[in-house]
Amino acid sequence: MKRFQFSLETLLSLRREREQECEIVLASAVGSIVSIDKRIEAARDAGEKAFLTQGFSIEELRARDNLWMKSLGDRKALEQPRKEASKRVDEARKVYTEAHSKRAALDKLKDKRKKQWKFRAKQEEIKRLDETAKGAAVRRRLTGGEE
The secondary structure of 59-105, three-state, reads HHHHHHHHHHHHHHHHHHHHHHHHHHHHHHHHHHHHHHHHHHHHHHH
Sorting pLDDT into bands at 50, 70 and 90, what band is 115?
A: very high
Q: What is the tally of structural domains in the chain?
A: 1
Give a yes or no: residue 133 inside a domain. Answer: no
Sorting pLDDT into bands at 50, 70 and 90, what band is 145?
A: low
Record the pTM: 0.72
Give a yes or no: residue 22 inside a domain. Answer: yes
Give a yes or no: residue 27 inside a domain. Answer: yes
